[in-house]
Amino acid sequence: MEGYGGQDALKKRGFLGAALSQADDALRVDRVVPGSPAEKAGLAAGDLVVKLDGAPVTTVAAFVKAMQEHGAGGDVRLSVTRDGKALDIALTLARHPQDELEEPDTSEGLRKVRKTFDLAYYTGERHKLNLILPETDKPFPTVMWIHAGAWSFGDRAGETALGVRLAERGIGFAAISHRLTGGAWMDPKLPKDGVQHPAHVEDCARAFAWLHTNIKERGGDPALLFVAGHSSGAHLAALLAMDPRYLKAHDLPLSAVRGAIPIGAYDVPKYHAHLVRGMGKERADAHVSAIFGELAAWAAASPVAYAKDSKVPILVITEDVEGFRLYRDDFKAGLPESAPVVFWTAEDRRHETITALMARKEADAPRDRMVEFVREKSGR
C-alpha cells in the first residue's frame, strides 16, 4: 500500500465507515455505512467534518490516510457542523473490512497463499506491484490486475483480497499501481499535476514486461500471463492487449498476453458522449480531456480502434447496469465476427461493488467465470 510498510501494516488499518467529499474548508459526509463506527457514533449524511482530533481537515485523501493510521481500535474525535450547529463526535475505529476479506479461506481444495508487497517494476514511486501467489510446485498462470479510479485515483492496495481468492484457486495475481492524472478535473481543490495518456498504459506495459522477466523465479509460467482490470483499469487492460505499440517498446509481441479480462469501457469518444448525457458537457469535457488530451487523440486511445487485428482472447465482464451495458454494446459494435472476444454479464452487480463482491470467500459467479477463462486459456 502506498505509504505503508507492506503486509503487516495492511492489517492495522482503522475503518470509519463513511464516504466523504470535498466541501470548501470541510469534508461533507455523503453516506454512512450501516453498522459502522460512524453510524454508531451518530455521524449522518450531510454533516460537515471540519476537524480531526482538533486539527483542521484538508483533503479526503489525507482524512482517509489518518483514519487508517489510527488503526483498528483507535479513538478519534471529529468536530462537525450539522445545520449550522457545532458537534463533537467521539468514536472508536473498527478493523478495515478489506483486511477481513484478505484472511485465508481454509475450505478444502484451496491452496495456501504467499504475498510480497511493494516490488518495484520501474523507477517511480507508483511503479510498484504486489504479488499474491499460490503455494504450488507447478508453474501457474498469473493475472496482472489494474486498479479502478478514473485514471486519477486508486492504487494496488485495495486489490489484495481479490488476489487472495484467485491465488487460493491456483492463479497468481499481480496488483499494479501506475502514474495518475491529477484530480482537478473532478474537484479544483485536488492536484492539477499528473500524467496524461499514454503514460498510464505505458506503465502497465512496464509492469507486464517485469512480470514476463521475473515471474518464473517465483513459480509462475511467463507464457501464461493475463491482464485484467476494473473501470479505468479495464480500459488499460484491453488497450494493452489490443494495441501492440506498448508491449513492442519492451520487445514483446501481443501474443505474450495469454488473455485479457476487462470490466469497463472501450471506446473513448462514445464514453465521452455517454458522460455528456449523464453529467453534462462541461464536466464530461473536463474529465476526458484531462485524461486523453485533445479530441483528435481519443479514438487512438480506444481499445476498439484495434479490434480488426485483435488476436488476444478477451473475456469482457459487464455489470448489469445501463451505463456499462452501453459500453459493452459500443465495443461489440466495433468488433469483426472473427475477433476472439466473448461477453458475459454479471447479473445483479453494480459498478461500485463488483470487484469487492468478487473478493469474498463465498461462491461468486463473476469470479468463477474469470477463473474458468484463465484455466481454459492456460490449458489447465
What pLDDT is recorded for position 190?
82
> Do the domain assignments include residue 2?
no
Domain boundary among 97, 128, 145: 97
> Do the domain assignments include residue 1?
no
> Do the domain assignments include residue 277?
yes
Domain count across the chain: 2
What pLDDT is recorded for position 62?
86
> Do the domain assignments include residue 21?
yes
pTM for the model: 0.83
Residues 132 and 174 placed together within one structural domain of the fold: yes
Domain housing 90: 7-97
Residues 133 and 35 placed together within one structural domain of the fold: no
Q: Is the peptide bond before 253 cis (omega within 30 degrees of 0)?
A: no
Tell me the CATH number at 34: 2.30.42.10
Tell me the CATH number at 203: 3.40.50.1820
Residues 93 and 146 placed together within one structural domain of the fold: no
What pLDDT is recorded for position 257?
98
> Do the domain assignments include residue 352?
yes
Domain boundary among 37, 63, 97: 97
Residues 61 and 136 placed together within one structural domain of the fold: no
User: How many angstroms separate the most distant Cα atoms in the chain?
Assistant: 64
Residues 79 and 133 placed together within one structural domain of the fold: no
Residues 205 and 340 placed together within one structural domain of the fold: yes
What pLDDT is recorded for position 20?
87
Residues 162 and 294 placed together within one structural domain of the fold: yes
What pLDDT is recorded for position 294?
96
Residues 142 and 216 placed together within one structural domain of the fold: yes
Domain boundary among 47, 82, 97: 97
> Do the domain assignments include residue 299?
yes
Residues 118 and 56 placed together within one structural domain of the fold: no
The pLDDT profile of the chain, 380 residues, written as one tens digit per residue, is: 232 233 444 457 889 999 888 887 889 998 898 889 999 999 999 999 999 999 998 788 889 888 888 888 999 999 999 999 999 999 999 988 777 788 889 899 999 999 999 999 999 999 999 999 999 999 999 999 999 999 999 999 889 999 999 999 999 999 999 999 999 998 887 888 999 999 999 999 999 999 999 999 999 999 999 999 999 999 999 999 999 999 999 999 999 999 999 999 999 999 999 999 989 999 999 999 999 999 999 999 999 999 999 999 999 999 988 889 999 999 999 999 999 999 999 988 889 889 989 999 999 999 999 999 999 999 97
What pLDDT is recorded for position 60?
84
Residues 93 and 110 placed together within one structural domain of the fold: no
Residues 87 and 113 placed together within one structural domain of the fold: no
Residues 82 and 112 placed together within one structural domain of the fold: no
> Do the domain assignments include residue 215?
yes
What pLDDT is recorded for position 322?
86
